[in-house]
Amino acid sequence: MSEFSNSGGPPPIQSNDPGGHKANHDVNVQKLHAEGPPGFWRQISDLVIAVAVIAIFIVVIMWIF
């Protein structure tokens, strides 16, 4: 019963193929260096959109008053 109550996530997966693990890691590193962090441009575009919405809101409030 203590096995189920002490759940900190799934158990780590044991790889029987260390060469496959290294190959997967190398592919992921190459992809990261080629493309950059996948969420970086999404975060920048979300920030620009948020700043634009706030700026438009401020301009409208200033125009009304």
* pTM, 2 dp: 0.44
User: CA-to-CA distance for 61 and 34, rounded, in angstroms?
Assistant: 44
- What backbone phi and psi angles, to 5 degrees, belong to 15? -90, 130
Is the predicted pLDDT of residue 58 greater than 80, yes or no?
yes
pLDDT of residue 43: 85
C-alpha distances out from residue 34 to 11, 23, 29, Å: 32, 16, 9
C-alpha distances out from residue 25 to 38, 57, 60, 63, Å: 16, 46, 51, 55
| 6-56 residue pLDDT tens | 555 555 566 677 778 888 888 888 887 776 766 778 889 999 999 999 999
